[in-house]
Amino acid sequence: MLYNLMFFYVCMFLYLVGTVLSVMSFLKNDNALFGFAKQWFIVAIICGVFFFFIRYREFAYVPMVSLFEITFFYAWLLSVAYVLFVKESAGRIIQGLALVIFDSLLVWNMFMDKIYHPINPLLRSFWLVIHVPSIILSYSAFGISFAVSVYYIFADINKKTVSHLDKFNSGLILVGTILLGFGIVTGSIWAHSAWGNYWSWDPKETWALITFIIYGVAVLLRKIFKIKPFWEAVVSVCGFLAMLFTFFGVSLLMVSHHAYK
């Protein structure tokens, strides 16, 4: 067995323990147990760093190329965001949804092809470590925003005051939109150096633009037109669905230069 996969499976075990402890904390409403679960996630995050480093050393490329690698990277970043931003005081819906999102990615990861395949020489570019992380960082912000937005929508419907989440959710959407925009621009520059054109309306490019427009609308409506946070949350949920299709739907259902294998 390759050493990187050993660290991957150790990560899975650590995330599993953290998830079980988190679920127990939800059921018992025990904040101390929630903090203990986060400690397991922190160890899993550190283990994930070793996974990326060792896979890089074993295969001699930045491990952000295959669907397995990029999905694990997304789940890993979401777990980092979960540890940093999802507090004990957050609603159980936010905690649970954020947990479900990155745990679902990890479970799917378990069944993906994990072995090395020769990669396209075009992917051996410094643009890879600029373009891909910025995109996945934006997706991580959108993932947490989705959990917050769903909670906000249900709270608003039930006439529960959650105004303390307004700035947090708006900040996540704004940061995610900026990072996604930066990722699209750097991807266009990379595409020009690789294929000779900045934009080709490839399905991945098109859906990334659609996702950017949806979240951009959310930012404009909130910052310029001062709409209610409820509607910003609704747009955020729509944007997250578009993001999921951009990330997974295009790769699995469409022919694209950017589809992960």
Q: Residue 260: what pLDDT? A: 56
Average pLDDT, the chain: 87
> Given a cut of 80, is residue 4 above it in pLDDT?
yes
Amino acid, res. 205: E
Q: Residue 21: what pLDDT? A: 92
pLDDT band at 79 (very low <50, low <70, confident <90, very high): very high
> Given a cut of 80, is residue 122 above it in pLDDT?
no
Q: List Cβ neighbours of 165 (8 Å cut-off, separation of 6 or more).
A: 148, 151, 152, 229
Contact 189, 157 (CB under 8 A): no
Between 72 and 85, name the one with better pLDDT. Answer: 72
Q: In the structure encoding, which two tokens stand for residue 25, read together?
A: 């904390």
pTM of the model: 0.89
> Given a cut of 70, is residue 71 above it in pLDDT?
yes
